[in-house]
Structure 1
Amino acid sequence: MIRRAVAFLIVLWAFGFLWFAVALPQPQGPQKTDAIVVPTGSGGRIPRGLALLNAGEAGKMLVTGVDLDVRPAEFAAEYDVPDRLMDCCVTLGFTALDTRGNARETADWVAAENVHSIRLVTADWHMRRAALELQGTLPADVEMVRDAVRSEPSLWTLFLEYHKLLASWLAQAWPG
């Protein structure tokens, strides 16, 4: 009986990992939201968020998890962001150190900015966990659009992220 239960869990884990690795989230097409949220991390996230902001898909953008040493002028120079756009529309968040911190920082910013819909822009392999953590902190009436940035993650990255997703899901399913 125990061997069957263990075998079932192993098969369940394997199929879950296969689904996770093969069916990565995809980029979102045009859809306006109040704001764009970009957690720092792998390449392509910030340029994608800025392109959406420039295209008028949202009126403002939060970059969460920015290193404390980064200055707005440095950020603007690195990503070629005009001063007018930095001044009106881009917020750099410095308090988050990880994905869970990104979710808390985002929820605080969403409340302060009176945002009702966001577009989450992150790597395809990171999207499920980032969205799960964010859904756990945002008010239920805030709509979230998932916009994955395509990447070519290694098998090791997928393996680690799958287990982080499982841990996040378990933490939310059984808090305490």
Structure 2
Amino acid sequence: MTLRLSTLLAIAYALGFVLFAVFLGKPAGAEKTEAVVVLTGGKGRLERGMEVLKRGDAKRLLVSGADPSVTRADLARRLGPGTLATLRCCVDLGSEAVDTRSNAEESRRWMARRGYKSLRLVTSDWHMRRAAYEFRSDLPKTRIIEDAVPSRPSLFTLFAEYNKYLLRRAALWLDM
């Protein structure tokens, strides 16, 4: 009985991993939201958030988890000419978050201060499932559009993220 149960759990875990790896987050269309939240740490995330803002699909952008020493001028140098004005008018740098869970908490406080009820979440495709889960848990009444930045994650990255996702779901299920 124990062997059968262990085998069933191992098969379910492996199948879950395969599905997780095959069905990564996708980029969103041009749907409008009040805010864009970009989670730091991945290539192309900030550029995607700025693209959404410049297109007029959101009013304001939060860069959640930014290093406290990073300035708008630093971001303008990275993003290229013509971005400093947009960064000054419409971008907030949040430096309170240190992980995905605190990204959601920081974003909730920022959204509440501004009175926003909808956001576009921008992060890497491999990170989107866990990030969206955290955000939906922390902002249950907020309309969240998932906007994943395509990447080429390694097998190790996918494996680590899958395990983090499972552990976080279990922790929330156990109310931890």
1:72 corresponds in structure 2 to: 72
Question: What runs of 5+ residues in structure 1 fail to find an aligned partner?
Answer: none
Equivalent pairs counted in the alignment come to 175
Instruction: Give the superposed CA RMSD.
Output: 1.1
2:116 corresponds in structure 1 to: 115
Alignment of 1:47-126 (within 5 A): 47-80=47-80, 82-126=83-127
Question: What runs of 5+ residues in structure 2 fail to find an aligned partner?
Answer: none
The two structures have a TM-score, normalised by structure 1, of 0.96
Q: Residues of 2 paired with 1:71 and 1:16: CA distance?
A: 40
Q: Residues of 2 paired with 1:117 and 1:7: CA distance?
A: 43
* DSSP 3-state at the match of 2:37: strand
Q: Residues of 2 paired with 1:42 and 1:61: CA distance?
A: 16
Shift of 1:69: 1.5
Q: Is the 8 A contact 2:72 2:84 kept in 1?
A: no
Q: Encode CA deviations 1:32-51: one digit per residue, 9 max, x unaligned.
A: 00010000011010000000
Q: Which amino acid aligns with 2:112?
A: A
1:6 corresponds in structure 2 to: 6
Q: Encode CA deviations 1:32-82: one digit per residue, 9 max, x unaligned.
A: 000100000110100000001100110100000001121222122222353
The two structures have a TM-score, normalised by structure 2, of 0.96
* DSSP 3-state at the match of 1:136: helix
% identical aligned pairs: 44
1:170 corresponds in structure 2 to: 170
- 4+ runs of 1 displaced by more than 4 Å? none
* DSSP 3-state at the match of 1:159: helix
Q: Residues of 1 paired with 2:45 and 2:85: CA distance?
A: 21
1:37 corresponds in structure 2 to: 37
* DSSP 3-state at the match of 2:21: helix
Q: Which amino acid aligns with 1:142?
A: T
Q: Residues of 2 paired with 1:111 and 1:35: CA distance?
A: 11
Shift of 1:88: 2.0
Q: Residues of 2 paired with 1:40 and 1:78: CA distance?
A: 14
Q: Residues of 2 paired with 1:76 and 1:127: CA distance?
A: 26
Q: Residues of 2 paired with 1:120 and 1:155: CA distance?
A: 24
